[in-house]
Structure 1
Amino acid sequence: MTTPLFTVLLPVVRTPELLPYAVESVLAQTEPRFELIVIGDGAPPETIACAEEFARRDARVSVRPFPKGERHGEAHRHAVLGSARGSLVAQSADDDLWFPDYLRELAALLAEVDFGNLLTSLLKPDGTVVTLPGDLADPRWRQAMVDRRWTSFGPSTAGYRIEAYRALPVGWSPAPTDMPTDVHMWRKFLSAPGLRVGTRFAVESIGLPTPPRVGHSLAERSAEAAAVSRRIATEEGRRALREAAVHGLQREQADSFWAREDLMAAYEHTRGAYEHTRGAYEHTRGAYGRARAEVERSASVAAAALAEVERLRSSRSWALTAPLRGAAGLVRARLGRD
């Protein structure tokens, strides 16, 4: 048997309505050297049967059923990677669809780095596409992923070299309940000394995530996945999805740009108000200074006058003229009676 270039993991937990579309998008890869391992994380028997049907049709597919594991069954992924035959590892999900060149693009990235990602593009129920920004080559993005419970890509657009994974002290393991599974794993890679990381700016997949589809039946979601699969099967359909993905990224950048512009306008307005207030303050401060100087001058004059009065009262002449001041007082009193 030919040694595969890729080991592709596809964990699944729910009923099989979406699984065929995800598996078929893997089997349609232009890079055919892969093994696809469907990991049943407590998946129901009908899901395992669906996966086993693909395994009967294509020798590259195998199925590993497990009881439901802790959290998202991360330990099952680690167990499967213990016997992985590919030198490179990729992962998909039953609600993700790969374009035919996905593995080819990921292989080009992993020829240069040990851990990295392609761009993540998510199709919303209204037909718009959201593309997550991010670049692992930028240390600010890496630090944000280490410091925050946040990532710009999930497992279905990530890849890594198997030797880099096996060199980690701990591989896939149950994440803390307050942390996303992928963030928990990516931090292990990003904390590994000397690991080469990077992002390839290629849109080679489309995600149909569950959160914005809460309330949609699995039949509705299956019909949507079938329609998107038909688009992916044609060059024109892939081009349209890529254009929508780029538009989504441009829209994100435009939103950020105008948010910055609004902040700058608010800053300039606040700065103008501050300068006006500061001018009024300086004017008031000047008037206060002048008034205070006048008060201090008047106080100085009053103090000088009081000192002069005290000096006169303590003088010999003041004592000698005391009888005269007394007589003058009597005269004024008598004149007042007359």
Structure 2
Amino acid sequence: MLIPTHNHGPLLRLAATSALAQTVADLEVFIVLDGPDAATRAAAEEVARSDTRVRLFPNPKGERNGEAHRHVALQEARGRIVCYLSDDDLWFPDHVEYLDGLLADADLAHSLTVVAHPGGGFHLPYVGDLADPWYRRWLAGPHNFIPLAATGHTLAAYRSLAEGWSPAPPGVWTDLNMWRKFLARPDLRMVTGGRPTMLGFPSPARLSMDLAQRLSEMESWHARLQQPGAWEALRRQATDLLSLRAAELQRDGLAARAEFEAERDRLTESEAALAKAREELTRSWAEVTSLRAELDAVRTSITYRAGYRLASIPVIGRLGRWVGKALAGRPSR
């Protein structure tokens, strides 16, 4: 289990506690410190003293989020799988057990995430399917539905990559940069689990909260979830939300399909009207063409050409104009 950390201090203690309380006891926990402040270092050392399964990897501040430090630590990993935990998230007690089962037939896997609201409540925002090629292509863009703390992979698959954890390019999320390295390998098997096994407290939604407020929030959740059956109750509620969301998606899909069919019918009617107008235009053009042919015939006739030539003679032309004026000025009887 690898927990990267930088400056979340006491939040790390709660996160690590959830890692050490897994139903799978045979594990090793690597806490990778990326230029930690004093509070974070103290929290990491306290966790390490409390359990021999914990190892610390202290480092100076690395580039970006210290991704390269994670790669160095994984060179010393001995387990079959690697799971990641953010230093401000909590695992359900069966998280590792669940991912271990998924990774029996896959190289990269992730479970579903329950995201806590700062003011209370929760939702499940990250939904996708790694087995679906469309979602794998979607991850090539600025999208990600795979949080770090919900993800695991086999150590063998990681070591088969051309490059492991490394600083992400500007504008690319650290985790997504790593997942894309797996996605670039079509021979690797990937799966999405349908069970919520991680409770997340994303930092972007908590920018207005100081560390003490964030700690109070996590402690409140942690205390509630220590009650008998609390984790399973949260999972059932989350699953119910998923069912409601699926129903909403189905409703929206049916509504979109009905709208599409209505638009298709309108388009069919417009095409029929356009075809009729095209036929009328074709008939009109045929009539114009016929009239033009008749006019050309008249213009090429001997009578027309003779009259045109006589009118062009000056004397006859003036005579014709004089006769016209005379007739126009003749008094009527």
TM-score relative to the length of structure 2: 0.82
Correspondence for 2:212 among 208, 219, 232: 219
Number of residue pairs matched by the alignment: 312
SS at match of 1:34: coil
**Change beyond 3 A, Cα 1:296–1:171:** closer
**Structure 2 vs 1, CA of residues 249 and 307 (structure 1 numbering), >3 Å: closer, same or farther?**
same
Task: Give the TM-score of the pair, scaled to structure 1.
Answer: 0.81
Q: 1:306 to 1:51 in 2, by over 3 A?
A: closer
Return 5+ residue gaps in structure 2 as ranges. Answer: 308-322
The alpha carbon displacement at 1:225 in A equals 0.7
Confirm whether residue 50 of structure 1 aligns to residue 43 of structure 2.
Answer: yes
Ranges in structure 1 where 5+ consecutive residues have no aligned partner:
1-7, 315-329
2-structure distance, mates of 1:180, 1:92 = 16
1:29 maps onto 2:29 in alignment: no
Give the Å deviation of 1:78: 0.9
Find the partner of 1:136 among 127, 130, 133: 130
Distance 1:293 1:261 in 2: 48
Quick check: 2:112–2:193 contact (8 Å CA) kept in 1? Answer: yes
Deviation at 1:23, TM superposition (A): 1.3
SS of the residue corresponding to residue 131 of structure 2 reads coil
Task: Describe the superposition over 1:149-182 as per-residue Cα deviations: whole angstroms up to 9, x where unpaired.
Answer: 3332122111122222222221111111121111
- Do structure 1's residue 284 and structure 2's residue 274 form an aligned pair? no
| Counterpart position of 2:310 | none
| Distance across 2 between alignment mates of 1:296 and 1:172 | 75
Q: For 2:296 and 2:142, locate their aligned partners in 1 and report how far apart those are by CA, in whole Å.
A: 72
Q: Which residue, out of 103, 110, 113, partners 1:117?
A: 110
**1:160 has 2:149 as partner:** no
* Partner SS for 1:201: strand
Residue 217 and residue 244 in structure 1: after superposition, are their counterparts in 2 closer, same or farther (change >3 A)? Answer: farther
1:239 corresponding residue in structure 2: 232
AA of the residue aligned to 1:274: L
Answer whether contact 1:128 1:248 (CA < 8 A) is retained.
Answer: no
1:78 and 2:71 are equivalent in the alignment: yes
Range with bigger deviation, 67-76 or 187-196: 187-196
| Aligned residues of 1:52 and 1:62 also touching (Cα < 8 A) | no
Which secondary structure state, in structure 1, belongs to the residue aligned with residue 33 of structure 2? strand
Note closer, same or farther for the CA distance 1:219–1:87 as it changes in structure 2 (3 Å cut).
same
Q: Partners in 1 of 2:305 and 2:70 — Cα distance?
A: 106
Match of 1:271 in 2: 264
Report the Cα offset of residue 115 of structure 1: 2.0
Does structure 2 retain, via aligned residues, the 8 Å contact 1:116–1:160?
Answer: yes
Alpha-carbon RMSD across the aligned residues, in angstroms, is 3.0
Check 1:54–1:258 CA distance in 2 against 1; reply closer, same or farther (3 A cut).
same
